[in-house]
Chain A
Amino acid sequence: MRIFDLIKMGLRNLLRRKARTLLTVIGVIIGTVSIVVMISVGIGMNESFETSVMQNGGMTIVQVSADSWSEDENGEWKQTLQNLDDKVLDRLRQIEHVKAITPIINNWSMQIFSGKYNTWTQFMIMDMDCYEGFGYPALEDGTYPNKATSQDAIYIGSQAIQGEFQYYDGRRAKTKDVDIYTDPLSIKIQDYQYQVNPRKKEFEQKLNSRYMIQASESGYSQADYSCFIDIDTYKEWYKKFANTLKISDRKKALASLEKYETIMLNVDNMNNVSEVQEEIEKLGFKSMSDMQYIEPMKETAEMMELVLGAIGAVAMLVSAINIANTMIMSIYERTKEIGIMKVLGCKVGDVRKLFLFEAGIIGLIGGIVGIGLSYLVSWLLNTYGGQIFESLMSGSMGVAEGSAFSVIPFWLPFFAAFFGMMVGVLSGFFPALRATKISAIEAMKSE
């Protein structure tokens, strides 16, 4: 038979029993809708979870600290001291999926001065070439900092410096409003573990090259509350500072530049974080990431997605059985007809194809209509489902602002249509096999 004739005959057979075909198709529609909606809700939950996590930021950041605390199997906390230097930095840089890597120095003894008034802020001393790689916001002029622009420069986070500087004259504190854009500013280091050489002039670095960083999207990320200084600039400044120290402490201070407190890595994708952490472990270092704590929650969300998908699959299984039942009924009805077709020269393969086609088309139509309905249900869920979901998932998981409950990714409709057809064909397989076994002698039997 030609394929066109096969299609025509198959469709005619389906139309012959309109009610039955319709009911079977409705079964597939219900199966498809339940599987698509369930999966979409699972994906929606996962995505809203991810966006809520992403809003907090830094999910892909892994930190290797010189002073690392970790919990062992017995639940006891253990301190590990790790020696982090440029060699370690280079080894960590080799790890796959590492998008950006920088040593971090947090110098708590640096302060910003405006005359005698000062303010306290957090400094992030890092390799400014990596700044963009960590997803920090751009500067106010829209560009990103790099080593070349960082010579003696400071990058100021949107919330990093309060305009009100303070001075304590021994009796009471005085305050002064400082315009961080225009007023002269400088940095001083006051590290009381070292003794200053009183004969030398106090270290003071003028901050002539100042860049303001845009506020981040959430408005309260690390970048908003930090001042960034390039590590090479910092080292130069620190050497100048070391020169003001007594000789005995000078070496000690300079040696501290060789070791980093922290090495910070940014991984290209959330899913690769644990892989990168394992690699770091293999190199003999302990690392930390927020992902570590998120991972079990993420697994729960994925589990939920799977369970929802399985519920949908049960509905699909029922509709598969439904299709098989319809096809078997159809074979009983058409036994004689199949016999006649065989006597008239219809090949066994064509009989099989005919039944597979009929079952497949039921699945396909059900799948396609089901997809359409799924979009409708998905839309309804996203529009009106808020209250329902809130009561269902109260406390267990916060739904991120603006994210959808049900997300149908682009592949899902194709998957569903293909799946529907496959369910049809597979459940039509056994009946089709049965049909091919009908003997031509059925045609010779008189009613």
Chain B
Amino acid sequence: MSEPIIEVKNAKKIYKMGKERIRAVDGVSFTVDKGEFCCLLGTSGSGKSTLLNLMAGIEKLSSGQILIKGESIGGMSENKLSKFRQENLGFVFQSYNLIGSMTALENVELPLVFKRIRGGKRKKMAKRILKQVGLKDRIGHKPKEMSGGQQQRVGIARAFVSKPDIVFADEPTGNLDSKTTIEVMELIKAMAQKNNQTIVMVTHDKKLSEYADKIIHILDGKIESVEITNHEWSLGDGGCGPSPEGASPSEKRPPGDGGCGSPTWTPGDGGCGSSETDVSTTEKQ
């Protein structure tokens, strides 16, 4: 867990708006370890999304350096970047970003299509992962025929299908209700844990950050503080993880602190339950 997979070194992103210079990301440095769940937490306009875009190579750095698996993402050509994304990166978006004309299965296949994986193998991989996210009977549906939660599950399946080392998630639950939010977060967490994948998630929601191993508080383009929640995560433990102040797994969460933000939630019941069973079924395979 100590091996850094992402290294951000004095990253700066400056936008020029007329004469004004806006420092969206202003000299940020941190590392994310392999298998870590890292959360960039900040209010709207804090620069957290820009930071994520920089890390994913979607936007170019103004100065500084970002290394992913030891490679500088800012210095890559378009083609190299595409290849790098195919091999190493997965994305979960706030608005799902599924292609409307494609079925769930085809959407999940898409990253594999770009990776030049053959049809048969591709379908198998996509079907397996759709089963894992609990959409076995939805593979032929178009996004319009699915609920928000189901769409985001397709999005998650698409992000994880090629087993990337890092999955970036930009407000993955921003458009979902609280119940579905829990399901989706559980799912992301479980999927990542299974293959020791690294998650970098952007959110403004403090409660969601409780899923993370490392919370980076961003304010006005700068790191306000880095919080490491050294908890042990297990499914049996109930999924939501300890509160920020919880230091050890044995320590019981104080009642009423709202853990996952869902007042109805109790370990093993509805909310997380569906995704739990889905994950457990895959584990049996």
Contact = CB atoms under 8 A, between A and B. Distances in A.
Interface stretch (B23-31, B86-94, B186-194): B86-94
Given A1-B113, A1-B114, A344-B111, A16 B101 contact: yes
The 6 A-B pairs with the shortest beta carbon distances in the complex, nearest first, are A345-B86, A345-B85, A347-B82, A440-B58, A345-B114, A344-B111
Given A2-B118, A341-B110, A348 B97 contact: no
Contacts of B83: 345, 347
A126 B99 CA distance: 84
Contacts, number: 71
A446 B110 contact: no
A348 B79 contact: yes
B95 interface: yes
Given A1-B113, A1-B116, A347-B114, A439 B86 contact: no
B93 A341 contact: no
A217 interface: no
A350 interface: yes
Contact of B58 (A337, A345, A444): A444
B46 interface: no
A443 interface: yes
19 contacts: A1-B114, A2-B113, A5-B113, A12-B102, A13-B101, A340-B97, A340-B99, A342-B82, A345-B82, A345-B86, A345-B89, A345-B111, A345-B115, A347-B114, A348-B79, A349-B79, A440-B57, A444-B58, A444-B170
Interface string B62-93: 00000000000000001100110110010101
A439 B82 CA distance: 12
A425 B85 CA distance: 29
Nearest to B87: A345
A351 to B, nearest CB: 10
B94 A344 contact: no
B53 interface: yes
Size category of the A interface is: 20 to 34
Contacts of A13: 101
B153 interface: no
A2 B57 CA distance: 25
A47 B91 CA distance: 65
Report which residue of A341, A344, A349, A444 has the largest number of chain B beta carbons within 10 angstroms of its beta carbon: A344
Contact of B94 (A9, A340, A446): A446
A446 B85 contact: no
B222 interface: no
Contacts of A342: 82
A185 B83 CA distance: 98
